Amino acid sequence: MMLHNVHWQFLQAGSFETTYYYLPLSGSVCVCMWMEKLEDARPPVIYCSTTNVY
């Protein structure tokens, strides 16, 4: 599922890339950790957890 109109923040951590994006409508933040990117390949999701923001 593609997510549009979200704010992306990329943090490099070794050979992994952690992505944080905010979902304004649901008021939640999803944290996804991606495997190391390969050329012309979309990295698979290791985990994606959603937490409520109050």
pLDDT in tens, 16-52: 455 555 556 665 666 655 545 555 555 544 444 444 4
pLDDT computed for residue 41 by the predictor: 52
Identify the band that residue 1 occupies on the pLDDT scale cut at 50, 70 and 90: very low
Query: How is residue 47 written in tokens?
Result: 């985990």
Look at residues 19, 30, 20, 21 and name the one whose alpha carbon lies nearest to residue 52.
30
Look at residues 52, 40, 37 and name the one whose alpha carbon lies nearest to residue 19.
37
| Extents of the domains making up the chain | 1-53
Instruction: Report yes or no on whether pTM surpasses 0.75.
Output: no
Q: Are 27 and 53 in contact (CB under 8 A)?
A: yes
